[in-house]
Amino acid sequence: MKKKVLIPTKLDRIAADILARHGGYEVVQDDTVGSDEDLLRLASQHPDAYALIVRSERVTPQVIDAVPGLKVIIRAGAGVNTIDTRYARRRGIDVMNTPGANANAVAEEVIALVLADMRQILQADPSCRAGRWEKKAFMGRELAGKTVGIVGLGAIGRLLARRLSGFDCRLLGYDPFVSPDLAAEVGVTLTDLPALFAESDVVSLHLPENETTRGMVNRDLLGRMKSGAILVNCARAGILVEADLRAIKAEKQLRFLNDVYPKDVEGPKSVADIADLMMPHLGASTREANQMAARRAAEQLIEFDDKGITSYIVNRDIPEGLDRSFADLAFRLTRLCRALAGPDRPLKMIETSFYGSLKPFANYLIVPIVAALDESFDRSMDPGAARRLLAERGIEYVDRVTDDRKGYQNSITVDLTVDRGGGALQRTSVRGTVTEGALMVSRVDDFHKLYFEPSGHLVAFAYADRPGVMGQIGAMLAQAGINIDDIRNPHDSTGANSIAILKVNQPVPADTVRQIADRIQATVSCAVTL
């Protein structure tokens, strides 16, 4: 019996054609769906549907309940925020996406926006049609020879770099989850955000919106931009602090080219007064991108059914037999290790060791580790997707063979190697376990027997051991109005160095961490919330 596939969206017909040629599917495609009610009504008419392929339609619990036979939902695109993935999981439904299918379309849109703005194409066209000849008024600028800063070197950012290679631009990039070698392959020099904003003639944003990136582009970064520089946002609206851009735009004579908004709906847009060019979220709206997403959706469904390939599933749960607390441990150890290593330093290598009964789950535990390093990667993703992401970012992953005779029962070790610049590498190592249901960090680098819980607000400093340092740390935290809840302060094996890891009652501002580090001459300093 053929499996019914419901496609309630204006998706390229190639998906239906591929599924029909396979012979195992009956395809029902209806491109007239225009509202939540339309989708629910169509879903109710096909309760026996096995798979649902959508674009931006909202797949709610009501829609899912209307199709008792549903087993697979595929988003023909990357974002799955319109699908209730958790409810789907509770119903035993796998949700997939097709990441990267729209990447080239967005990269080309950025170049189109920049060229249109630099050459004043939108202004010149109506003037010329009206019979005027205003060559002086529309004097433009050239992209060749300019410095372009790309914030985020995922699939879109790297494609943008490749497309810009023909314009003879100097390319700067910021993405701590991309190796310098991979960045160099696409002609990008990695740098930090302040330098990128200060040196670039054009800054293009290509980051997901999450707790780390929300509000990242603020007054501080905008204030560093060159006079007359161009800011392009074809990523997510929440990355940019709109009020800060409004306050500084005229002073710096910045140009703002925008394609993203808090909601994709009709009506006035809050950035209308500051956007020099506005598009109605057209980044992925090309025939080629639509066709690519459709093709991949169909192919992934066939591979899932015929070959059991699960790499694009985004809502898988903890595998049977693994205590969820160890997945949480892997996530928090990695977050801590990344903070200690330096969150902005390019990552070169991840090494892991899983001991005792955790060995059989080594393949799965890579998922929370990658999710801890890149907030755009969800913990419900598949191990194959995690490995693919690391490969795409040029990051080497090594799962070491472990020897249980060492006595590290059911422990996890995470080592991160980062690039400090100038060819210098630095490795940071953290080990932990779960004791009586509590997550516990037992070692950081050569500092053993720490035994602290990786939770809440933490601040850490490594320094050359000498009297009075802990007093200075405590006093400076007190001056900042921060209370200490717990302290670990061991020596390393040589006795020459110490680490202070403090659990505090609130996040420690970066300026306070920096001031303390300078005062005590810390070799390592960081603040992190776990």
Within a domain: 40: yes
Query: Are 80 and 119 contained in the same domain?
Result: no
Average pLDDT over residues 430-446: 93
Within a domain: 318: no
Give first-to-last CA distance, the chain, whole Å.
50
Helices 155-164/103-118 angle, 10° precision: 50
**Total number of domains in the chain:** 3
Within a domain: 169: yes
- pLDDT category of residue 1 using cuts at 50, 70 and 90: confident
Distance CA 53, CA 173 (A): 35
Does residue 400 sit in helix, strand or coil? Answer: coil
Query: Are 97 and 107 contained in the same domain?
Result: no
- pLDDT category of residue 34 using cuts at 50, 70 and 90: confident
Query: Are 83 and 184 contained in the same domain?
Result: no
> DSSP characters for 450-501?
--B---SEEEEEEEE--TTHHHHHHHHHHHTT--EEEEE--B-TTSSEEEEE
Q: Spell out the SS3 assignment of 216-273.
A: CECHHHHHCCCCCCEEEECCCHHHECHHHHHHHHHHHCCEEEECCCCCCCCCCCCCCC
Within a domain: 315: no
pLDDT recorded at residue 380: 79
Which residues span the domain enclosing 357?
A: 324-529
Query: Are 500 and 355 contained in the same domain?
Result: yes
- Structure tokens of 261? 């908004």
Query: Are 90 and 128 contained in the same domain?
Result: no
Dihedral sign for Cα 526, 510, 242, 206, please.
negative
What are the C-alpha distances in Å from 248 to residues 231, 240, 272?
13, 13, 16
Query: Are 130 and 64 contained in the same domain?
Result: no
Q: Indicate the pTM of the whole model.
A: 0.82
Query: Are 91 and 109 contained in the same domain?
Result: no
Average pLDDT over residues 192-198: 96
Within a domain: 15: yes
Note the maximum CA span of the chain: 86
pLDDT at 99 over 90: no
- CB neighbours of 291 closer than 8 A, spacing ≥ 6? 12, 14
Percentage above 70 pLDDT, the chain: 100
pLDDT recorded at residue 77: 86
> DSSP characters for 176-223?
TTS-HHHHHHTTEEE--HHHHHHH-SEEEE----STTTTT-B-HHHHH
Query: Are 51 and 151 contained in the same domain?
Result: no
Distance CA 447, CA 430 (A): 9
What are the residues facing 397 on neighbouring strands? 350
Q: Is the separation of the CB atoms in 345 and 351 below 8 Å?
A: no
Query: Are 387 and 518 contained in the same domain?
Result: yes
pLDDT at 320 over 80: no
Q: Is the separation of the CB atoms in 171 and 224 below 8 Å?
A: no
Within a domain: 117: yes
pLDDT tens digits for range 215-262: 999 999 999 999 999 999 999 999 999 999 999 999 999 999 999 999
Angle CA 55–61–64, to nearest 5? 65
pLDDT recorded at residue 377: 84
Within a domain: 505: yes
> DSSP characters for 122-169?
HHHHHHHHTT---TTTT-----TT-EEEEE--SHHHHHHHHHHGGGT-
CATH at 481: 3.30.70.260
Query: Are 83 and 113 contained in the same domain?
Result: no
pLDDT tens digits for range 329-339: 999 999 999 99
pLDDT recorded at residue 523: 94
CATH at 214: 3.40.50.720
pLDDT recorded at residue 415: 97
- pLDDT category of residue 127 using cuts at 50, 70 and 90: very high
pLDDT tens digits for range 47-92: 999 999 998 899 999 999 999 999 999 999 887 878 999 899 889 9
Distance CA 462, CA 475 (A): 17
pLDDT tens digits for range 255-309: 999 999 998 888 999 999 999 999 999 998 899 999 999 999 999 999 999 998 8
pLDDT recorded at residue 404: 74
Checking phi first, is residue 195 left (phi over 0); if not, alpha (psi -120 to 50) or beta? alpha
Average pLDDT over residues 396-413: 86
Query: Are 81 and 110 contained in the same domain?
Result: no
Give the lowest-confidence range in 69-83, 244-258, 345-359, 394-408. 394-408
Within a domain: 177: yes
pLDDT recorded at residue 300: 96
Query: Are 405 and 330 contained in the same domain?
Result: yes
